[in-house]
Amino acid sequence: MQKGVIKMFDPLKGFGFIVTEDDDDVYFSQQDVHPKSRNKVIREGLQVGFDLKREMKGDRAVNVRILD
């Protein structure tokens, strides 16, 4: 599991970006949020854990979990 911080999230469009510990931006969508974290408000500055999925368009964060 990697860790990062929510850099930007648009709830109307349902996607955002996470800044990783290596200072990279990684895309994620509302569907990529782990079911146990879906009831929490996703906002900029939250610490999250996630897994990386390699796709043709680039890396994508999946199983995004809000860290307490």
Placement of tokens 């970006």 in the chain: 17
Q: Is the pLDDT of residue 35 over 90?
A: no
> For residues 21 and 5, is the Cβ–Cβ distance under 8 A?
no
Alpha-carbon torsion (68, 31, 63, 2), positive or negative: negative
pTM of the model: 0.90
Domains and CATH numbers, the chain: 2-66 (2.40.50.140)
One-letter amino acid identity for 51?
D
Helices and strands, number each (H, E), in the chain: 0, 5
pLDDT one-digit tens code per residue, 11-25: 999 999 999 999 999
